[in-house]
Amino acid sequence: MNANDAVQIDPKGRLRHLLTLNGLGRERIVGLLDRAAALRETWRDGELPPLLAGRTVMNLFFEDSTRTRTSFELAARRLGAAVINFDIARSSTNKGETLEDTLATLEAMEADAFIVRHKDNGTPARCAAHARRAAIVNAGDGNHAHPTQGLLDLLTIRDHKKDIEGLKVTICGDVRHSRVARSDIDGLAALGAGEIRICGPAALLPDRSEFPGCRIIEDFDTALAGSDVVIMLRLQKERMQDALGLAEADYFAAYGLTAARLARAREDALVMHPGPMNRGIEIADAVADGPQSVILEQVANGIFVRMAVLAALLADR
């Protein structure tokens, strides 16, 4: 746990913000997953309780991500909150206003939570440091963290595997630049995964020192062998050319998940992807749409873990 992370727990030990899964602890993570699963059951049985009635949630997306923003919006609205999608591109931050002033202004309008995405590591933590009353939820910052993605991945794995403890999980792709990978690793480690294998071309691998508890394996076939879960990351096409000097077909040949390759993992291995997918680059159609894919379940679970987080932050105060 670093200095920035500490800010997410209040003096009474309650979740004050959600910035990262790093240091959040097994018990708190399991609590959020349990709550998400309970909300999912309630939703499927009928109507959700208006846990967030009268609350205002603001989406502050400095980086576009319609799918994540929509997932947060639906989570908040289905629990009764009002949601404002604050259009940063047209806002005062473009007129020279500081981030702190924008936040203070919106908080003065009695926003209860801000969902923050930013290309720079630490922006959500910076918001949390300045928030007076509102809760900050990190919806992805740089390559630092994307904690609700981590939670939804954990929930999806837990739905299929009795226990996360002892599982072998392979994360393949551009781990170096991936906040999804980092939050997955934090979450999996907290819940006692047996082995986390990080796989990708050398140029896209993180420094070995960053993940002392993980195995770094350059060869994909080796990494897959015996895996219980395979998490494929989205490869940014720009990066493939610039950092790798690889054609798409070459990348796919080395790191694309095909049915043949997937056969090296355990027979009941789960295939996961945070989306949006580059079919034919990091994943083959037959796998993306195959029986082991739980990719759409990840999306569905995304809404329930975001409900659980917002409920923990706002409904329990």
Is the four-CA dihedral 54, 312, 158, 156 of positive or negative sign? Answer: positive
Q: Pick out residues in 166-225 that bind a second copy (CB under 8 A).
A: none
Residue 133 engages a second copy in binding (rule: CB under 8 A): no
Task: Single out the segment in contact with a second copy by CB under 8 A; choices: 59-67, 169-177, 203-211, 252-260.
Answer: 59-67
- Contacts with a second copy in 251-310 (CB under 8 A)? 275-279, 296-297, 299-300, 302-303
Question: H or E element: which one contains 39?
Answer: helix 26-45
Tally Cβ neighbours within 10 Å of residue 302: 27
* Smallest separation (angstroms) from a second copy to the CB of 21: 22
Q: How far is the CB of 101 from a second copy (least distance, A)?
A: 6
State the number of binding residues for a second copy (CB under 8 A): 44
Q: Cα separation of 115 and 267, whole Å?
A: 38
> Which residues, 6 or more positions from 62, have their beta carbon under 8 angstroms from its beta carbon?
88, 93, 116, 117, 118, 119, 123
Residues 233-252: x/- map of binding to a second copy (CB under 8 A)? ----x---------------
* Least Cβ distance, residue 283 to a second copy (angstroms): 11
Whose Cβ is closer to a second copy: residue 1's or residue 296's?
Answer: 296
Q: Look-up: residue for tokens 């993605």?
A: 149
Residue 82 interacts with a second copy (CB under 8 A): yes or no = yes
Residue 211 — φ and ψ, nearest 5°?
-125, 70
Q: Does 14 bind a second copy (CB under 8 A)?
A: no
CA-CA-CA-CA dihedral for 48, 49, 55, 60, to nearest 10: -20
Region near a second copy per CB under 8 A, out of 17-25, 94-102, 181-189, 259-267: 94-102
Helix (H) or strand (E) holding 227: none
115 DSSP β-pair partners: 59, 137
Residues forming contacts to a second copy in the complex (CB under 8 A) are 47, 54, 56, 64, 66-67, 70-71, 73-74, 77-78, 82, 84, 86-88, 90-92, 95-98, 101-102, 104-106, 108-110, 237, 275-279, 296-297, 299-300, 302-303
